[in-house]
Amino acid sequence: MTDQAHIEGWGRIPGPGVERFGENLDRLSEQPTLFRGLGRSYGDSSLPAASKPDVVNTTLADRVLAWDADTGVLRAEAGLSLYTMNRVFLPQGWFTPVSPGTQFVTLGGMVASDVHGKNHHVAGCFGQHVRALRMRVADGRVLEVTPTQHEDLFWATVGGMGWTGAILEVEVQLRAVSSPWIHQTTERVDNLADLVARLKEVSREWPMTMSWIDCLKRGKHMGRGIVYYGDWAKAEDAPAKFPPWSREITMPIDAPSWALNPLSMGLFNFGVYNSHVPKTKSGLVSPETFYYPLDMVRRWNRAYGLAGFTQYQCVIPDTAGIAAVVRFMEALTATGAASFLCVMKDCGPQGQGLLSFPMPGTSIAVDIPVKKDTAAIVAKLNALVIGVGGRIYLTKDRFTTPADFRAMEPRLDAFLEVRHRWDPERRFRSAQSVRMLGDPDLPGAA
């Protein structure tokens, strides 16, 4: 064990904990322990409970165990990163069926968060493409868990934040791509209602869509932004050469606390929006440019300084209409808490993961630098989300209260029932499950 007494998620709010590294996950999971991958969840999802402050870091367990280049079925240890998968399999014509906005995630983490991506409206979440999991469960057994074998455990583990057991291996169906290039179109839209409508429109025609919006702007240009959509380029339209992998730079230091202020963020947003000329642009881009623009700056989370940040991500259901999205954005911009990055995406049908985040509606994600009133702001936004029947994304959360979580999650009891069946003592727990589900966390308790 290292003598570092604290670890942190991507939002950099630390909690007590020590990471144990190793190549053999079977051995490391002999005692039920929370697993953690690359630590990209923003809040306390990958932080251990204070009473059992060790967490297994899976990143050294990164072997491909079976790969069929004809069918695209991959089986690998849970610590294999999407970064590596892209480099190994994209040149062979295969890509992850669902990609989040960063490639610095592990297979185990993608299952535990049941990640979604730009193709959610056509492909669903990652878990939908998972064929099997090899898991350590609370009674010590190692089991093969699939949509037909221990089905309850499978769908509770997909999106289950590590609260049902430890994921040792993942078998997933990759997706064949027509070329390693993406044909992308971007459109500038100057107000929120038009942007949400345009997002819905392009989603009917295109398999990959998202939008970036300026969430500092108020008034009639509130929610102005840029809509991105695209598809894998057809082989005959794509260049013969493989797209270059980006050169990465590292954010070398923590930004001082004054660096992000309304003026600097406003200037940034103004620049991004107004430099997008003409109004509509189209062309071939690399998957990295399309999917992972932020990955080019390693450790960009330092931009928010030492106080850290949280990301608020919620989905406003379609049933509430565009008006609800507008009301939410009004409330968000009124708090003045939002920073420059705000991402909006229309989601498709809800998946089978018992706690999976997406539902048909508009997903909104925004970074909020931590200040004294952050919890109050999150509570205020949660009230709006609960009011329209939406929900938040656990992977990003650090501030939602148990009462709010219960109010937005009618599926919670079904999840807890399965969890109770497999882990009655709630031995697989995290700082987040202690906070959200009230798992026992007495100091010194086993």
Partner 1 sequence: MNVLFLGATRGMGRALARQMAARGDQLYLLGRDEDQLARSAADLAARGKAGAPGVGMCDLGDPTTFEPAIAEASAALGGLDCVVVTAGLFGTQDALEDDLDRAYTLLQVNFAGTVVFCEHARRALMAKGGGTLCVFSSVAGDRGRKPVGIYGASKAGLSAYLEALDHRYRADGLVTVCVKPGFVKTGMTAGLKPPPFAGEPEPVARRVLKAIDRGTPMIYAPFMWRWVMFVIKLLPRFVMRKVGF
Nearer to partner 1, 135 or 199 (CB): 135
Question: Residues 16, 50, 51, 67: which binds partner 1 (CB under 8 A)?
Answer: 67
- Smallest distance, Å, CB 23 to partner 1? 4
Does residue 142 interact with partner 1 by CB under 8 A? Answer: no
Would you count residue 73 as binding partner 1 (CB under 8 A)?
no
Q: Which of 3/236 has CB closer to partner 1?
A: 3
Q: Where are the beta strands (DSSP E) in 177-291?
A: 182-189, 208-213, 225-232, 249-250, 280-285
**CA-closest candidate to residue 337, choices 286, 402, 381, 397:** 381
Comparing CB distances to partner 1, the nearer of 25 and 303 is 25
> Which is closer to partner 1, CB of 250 or CB of 319?
250
Question: In angstroms, what is the minimal distance from the CB of 84 to partner 1?
Answer: 9
User: Which of helix, strand or coil describes residue 169?
Assistant: strand
Length of the chain: 446
Q: Of the listed pieces 17-25, 154-162, 299-307, 369-377, which binds partner 1 according to CB under 8 A?
A: 17-25
- DSSP type of residue 48: B
Q: Which of residues 87-126 bind partner 1 (CB under 8 A)?
A: 88
In sequence order, what DSSP letters do the residues of 411-426 get, joined into one string?
THHHHHHHHHHH-TT-
| Residues 6+ positions from 229 with CB-CB distance below 8 Å | 184, 185, 202, 203, 205, 206, 208, 209, 210
In terms of CB distance, is 89 or 292 closer to partner 1? 89
Closest CA to 331 of 382, 407, 406: 382
Q: Which of 23, 194, 254, 441 binds partner 1 (CB under 8 A)?
A: 23
Q: Binding to partner 1 by residue 60, rule CB under 8 A?
A: yes
Comparison of 63 and 420: residue with beta carbon closer to partner 1: 63
Q: Is 2 in the site for partner 1 (CB under 8 A)?
A: yes
Q: Which is nearer to partner 1, 77 or 404 (CB)?
A: 77
CB atoms under 10 Å from CB of 440, counted, come to 12
- Neighbouring C-beta atoms of residue 409, cutoff 10 Å: 18
Please tell me the chain's helix, strand, coil percentages from 3-state DSSP, rounded to the nearest 5. 30, 25, 45
Does 63 sit near partner 1 (CB under 8 A)?
yes
For residue 344, give both structure tokens. 């909006």
Among 5, 6, 31, 66, binds partner 1 (CB under 8 A): 66
By DSSP bridging, strand 130-136 and strand 166-173 are: antiparallel
Would you say 22 or 389 has its CB closer to partner 1? 22
Residue 169 main-chain phi, psi, to 5 deg:
-140, 155
The residue from 14, 51, 64, 190 that contacts partner 1 (CB under 8 A) is 64
Give the residue ranges of DSSP H helices in 128-253.
151-157, 192-205
Binding piece for partner 1, criterion CB under 8 A, among 35-43, 58-66, 258-266, 431-439: 58-66
CB of 38 to partner 1, least distance (A): 14
Q: How many beta carbons lie within 10 A of that of residue 54, not counting itself?
A: 15
Judged by CB under 8 A, which stretch of 56-64, 127-135, 199-207, 265-273 contacts partner 1? Answer: 56-64
What is the distance, to the nearest Å, from the Cα of residue 385 to the centroid of all Cα atoms in its chain?
19
Residues that bind partner 1 (CB under 8 A): 1-4, 20-24, 60, 63-67, 77, 88
